[in-house]
Amino acid sequence: MDSLNLLLEGFATCFTPGNLAFILLGVLIGQIVGALPGVGPAAGMALLLPLTFGIEPVTAVMMLAGIMYGGQYGGTLTSVLINVPGEASGVMTAVDGHQMARAGRGGAALSIAAIGSFLAGIGACLAVAFVTPLLSSFALRFNAPEYFLLGVLGLIAAASLGSSPVRALIAAVLGLMIALVGTDPVTGAPRLTFDQAALFEGIDFIPVAIGVFGIAEVLSSLERSEDVQPIRTRLRDMWLTAEEWSQSRFAILRGGIIGLFVGLMPGAGASVASMLSYLNERKFSRHPERFGHGAIDGVAAAEAANNSASHGAIIPMLALGIPGSASTAVLLAALILHGIQPGPSLMTQESALVWGLIASMFVGNILLLVINLPLAPMFAALLRVPYVYLAPGILALSLVGAYSATLDMGTVWKSLFFGVFGWLMIKFDIPRPPLVLALVLAQLVETSLRQSLLLSFGSLGIFIERPISIVLLILVATMIALPVWNAIRSRRSPSRAPAAE
Amino acid sequence: MRLIDATPALFMIALSAAIVAGTGDLPYWADITPGARFFPVWLAGTGILLALLLLANLYSDPAGGRVEIPDARAVVRVGLTTGGMIGFIVLTPFVGMVLAGALFMAFLLLVVLRQPLMPSLLTVAIVALGVEGIFVRWLGVALPAFPFSI
Amino acid sequence: MNISVNRRSALVAGGMLGIALCLPAMAQDMKAPTGPVEITVGSGAGGSPDVIMRTIAKIMNEEKIVENPIVVQNRTGGGHSNAYNYVLGKPGDENLLLTLASPVFTTPIVQGTPSVIDQATPIAGFVQSELILLTPKNSPYQTLADFIKAAKEQPGRIRIAGGASGGNDHLVTALLEQKAGIKLTYIPHESGGAARATFLGGNVEGHFGTVAEAMAVIESGEARGLAILSENRRAEDIAKDVPTAKEQGVDVVYTQFWGVAGPPKMDPALAAWWADKFKKASETAAWKDSLAKNMQLGNFYGLEEAGAYFKKEQDTFRELLTTVGLAKK
């Protein structure tokens, strides 16, 4: 097989001491920047881009890609341990992962996240190596109508989080309302910006996530910090049990597949991937009630999905020259800075570089597993530090992280505002994840709907004329109809008063 | 049903009304596609509907959405912590971000949480040096620096 | 042979004369900054302005044209307003430069705030990129005339996928509509990459790409180039078959450009020093190589010349933004 030979050559490129060292450096940096709130893999890659100027292009790309997927592993740490997702794709991990950490199972959550990320990462690498042309042509069949329906699916996923559907929906609507602020994506007219330059580009995900998760969490815990016991974690509780593994195996498989397909679409990305995979797992779980309260298969599915999505985003980049995510955009920029012109001919003209990169992703994922598995219990043990000493550090890091994201004090103010807002949400029992997820999905839902109708000159038929769109439409209809049907059936039993809708 | 339990619903209704009012100058429909106001209007409608549903739920089952009101001490702590963060933002341009962060952490540990001096200072030092080392020195993020160079 | 040698020596002599003439004046008026210098970019990492600035900063430092370490910082958000407000807020700062890209001009027009270039100190415009109008490989339009004819027959039925509303793609679409007397449907996307995916997916009739982007999809057979919106055709073998819009009777010339400016009230001697350094960097082999690879133009405008150039472009932006109804009165 041709690809196999090329891949072996790629491994030969990889296995020089210099390249291996740079891959290791890349994944380590990724691990660290992924864990810093506000920085994240894309920003970390950009910050370290100048360091790659002196080295060979293939080595540089290997290292930068290492930061990209290493960041997915690193982001898990803060999501699970302190409930601060460093970026949108970590939100779903935080939902169950942090509950596990609170129950003293942080080590297991981190372990399954590492294993899930690893398996899904390797699977995605195989896909990149052997079916990139096929997948990239699939990615091109995904356009505005499909993105709109995908966004709706994501919203349904978001609204199923929390104590009651009405409260989760209120949170999701709040998130969509926050997203209204800024320049209207289609006409370019300012909307709800109140003539403030700071609001012109809208309210970004980062200050909202840092606020409603990180800052709000600390504020709520500090109310009565003397009651917050350090989480008791015995070392033997840290490891993954056989039962947990058997619960998570298929979650990883399904999450990995969903992640790959969603990740390779330039308009969606790791956050949508982890949401859909989580929703899918919950729908088909035998114990859906455990989701949101520390379900390990939820963590496994979300982490498998976001890592395979971050690899999948490489496919349109290599095959078409279209970045599938913020991180791959930086990777493309790195190629250009190193004098390589990306585009559809990249894979043939720079085959040594492309295959070296693909091979390095296998190596990098193995390195990350080797690093993360033994470290998972150690990181989880950090929670033994009394909370009163962790809290100021989390707050300071959140504020500094918010500043680093844009180098603008306005972002820090926004984080603080959303911190207090998030604290109020906790007090009033409005779940926070749907808000943040809806904020991420808003662009997909609103812009894609309007783009679709521009494409079809106003005809709604565009949603049923396209094969992938029909499949998604049926999925959406089922997802909406099922709970309604269930509600109607339970209403038929006359025990409840009609007012209790 | 207490007023405080209804706060989220009332807030949602107010916010929806504000969005409808605030987008009044934008077109609802533009030629063949929804305009800039289409989404806001529908969203506000959904918001109001959900708020009414929530109110109905509260009315039929007042115990369902009972808000636990934090006691005065908790409110003071949250207030002081928030004030500390505002102080951090205000101080940063004058003393640099790392020092402002250190002062904020010290304030939080010593004044708000009343922790012993030595462990507090140790925590402050570790986090401040970590931020300086990782963000400033290593990643080269341009955090506002202490303006009077030493 | 003889002739060419003579010409070359004449050129060298001319160049030396030029240098000799300039030297006394420039030597007096130039002042170097001390310490590290920040180049502020309003786009995220990986955006065109970011890549351009990192490339030229790398050349300046590596070839020792500028000894001060140059750091490129992304102050993103607000349609580049975070970046330009930061620079405008530090008048006279000697260690700060602002990257000029189209949002630096368009955002104030859209928001109705004072122009940036009227306040900042223009230093240099040193790189431009031409645009090519593309159509999918299986589209019936072979020439720009076919395309325009179709748009005239069915107003609004020809769709263009492009970047954000009010951005370059949108404005050049407006210019094309104006000059050809047609009506197109512009479909904005959150990024140029997303727009290209819509285009390559075969959903629309037209899309604008920079020469490098366009040639990549033309070479792979995914698309045809209908027209280059430039005064002249490109010289490269692979791109020289794309005719200009002007040749085809539609007078549309639109180039993206990037440059640098200093903060307001910058010391003229410092601005002159930077203009000189950018000029030198833009003459290096490494920069020429980068221009060739990215198929960009390297016309250089320094100081007053740059100021006049930027002002002219600003007027174009204002006119086009008014046409599409985005300029705030």
Enter the DSSP assignment of A89.
G
Instruction: Kindly list the residues from chain A whose CB atom is less than 8 angstroms away from the CB atom of residue C287.
Output: none
Where are the domain boundaries for CATH 3.40.190.150 in chain C? Answer: 30-128+256-323
Q: Is the pLDDT of residue C325 over 70?
A: yes
Residue at A70 is within a domain = yes
Residue at A496 is within a domain = no
Q: Is the pLDDT of residue C1 over 70?
A: no
Q: Is the pLDDT of residue C23 over 50?
A: no
Average pLDDT over residues A268-278: 88
Residue at A501 is within a domain = no
Average pLDDT over residues A346-371: 92
What pLDDT score was predicted for residue A227?
A: 58
What pLDDT score was predicted for residue B1?
A: 66
Measured between CA atoms, the residue of chain A closest to residue C78 is A201
Instruction: Kindly list the residues from chain C whose CB atom is less than 8 angstroms away from the CB atom of residue B140.
Output: 71
> What's this model's pTM, rounded to 2 decimal places?
0.87
| Chain CA centroid to CA C234, Å | 16
Kindly report, residue by residue over A53-97, the tens digit of the pLDDT. Answer: 778 899 999 999 999 999 989 989 988 988 888 778 888 999 899
d(CA C128, CA C297): 5
Residue B116 touches chain C, beta carbons under 8 Å: no
Distance from CA of A143 to the nearest CA of C (A): 6
CATH architecture of C30-128+256-323: 3-Layer(aba) Sandwich (3.40)
What pLDDT score was predicted for residue A230?
A: 62
List the single residue in C50, C185, C188 with the smallest CB-CB distance to A333: C50
Measured between CA atoms, the residue of chain A closest to residue C188 is A186
d(CA B12, CA B8): 6
What pLDDT score was predicted for residue A225?
A: 63
d(CA A379, CA A145): 43
Tell me whether residues B140 and C38 touch, CB distance under 8 A.
no
The interface predicted TM-score (ipTM) is: 0.95
Task: Kindly report the CATH number that applies to the domain delimited by C130-254.
Answer: 3.40.190.10
Kindly report, residue by residue over B16-55, the tens digit of the pLDDT. Answer: 999 999 999 899 988 778 889 999 999 999 999 999 999 9
Number of domains forming the structure of chain A: 1
Please give the mean pLDDT across all residues of chain C: 89
Residue A408 touches chain C, beta carbons under 8 Å: yes
Domain ranges of chain B: 4-60, 72-138
Residue at A498 is within a domain = no
Q: How many CB pairs under 8 A join A and B?
A: 187
Distance from CA of A152 to the nearest CA of B (A): 14
Name the pLDDT band for A226 (thresholds 50, 70, 90).
low
Name the token pair of A4. Answer: 């196999």
Q: Is the pLDDT of residue A490 over 90?
A: no
Asked if A66 and A34 count as a contact pair (C-beta separation under 8 A), the reply is no
Dihedral sign from CA coordinates of A449, A455, A460, A461:
negative
Residue at A495 is within a domain = no
Among residues of chain C, what percentage have pLDDT more than 70?
91
d(CA C42, CA C82): 7
Whose CA is closest to C33, among C202, C231, C277, C211? C277
Kindly report, residue by residue over A333-347, the tens digit of the pLDDT. Answer: 888 888 888 888 888
| Chain CA centroid to CA A491, Å | 37
Name the pLDDT band for A133 (thresholds 50, 70, 90).
confident
Measured between CA atoms, the residue of chain B closest to residue C75 is B142
**Lowest mean pLDDT segment, chosen from A106-115, A153-162, C276-285:** A153-162
Kindly report, residue by residue over C199-257, the tens digit of the pLDDT. Answer: 999 999 999 999 999 998 998 889 999 999 999 999 988 889 999 999 999 999 999 99
Q: What torsion do the CA atoms of C8, C10, C16, C18 make, to the nearest 10 degrees?
A: -120
What pLDDT score was predicted for residue A321?
A: 85
Range of the domain at A474: 2-231+239-489
Instruction: Kindly list the residues from chain C whose CB atom is less than 8 angstroms away from the CB atom of residue A266.
Output: 193-194, 197
Kindly report, residue by residue over C135-183, the tens digit of the pLDDT. Answer: 999 999 999 999 999 999 999 999 999 999 899 999 999 999 999 999 9
What pLDDT score was predicted for residue A229?
A: 61
Helix/strand/coil (H, E, C) string of chain C?
CHHHHHHHHHHHHHHHHHHHHHHHHHHHHCCCCCCCEEEEECCCCCCHHHHHHHHHHHHHHHCCCCCCCEEEEECCCCCCHHHHHHHHCCCCCCCEEEEECHHHHHHHHHHCCCCCCCCCEEEEEEEEEEEEEEEECCCCCCCHHHHHHHHHHCCCCCEEEECCCCCHHHHHHHHHHHHHCCCCEEEECCCHHHHHHHHHCCCCCEEEEEHHHHHHHHHCCCEEEEEECCCCCCCCCCCCCCCECCCCCCCCCCEEEEEEEECCCCCHHHHHHHHHHHHHHHCCHHHHHHHHHHCCECCCEEHHHHHHHHHHHHHHHHHHHHHCCCCCC
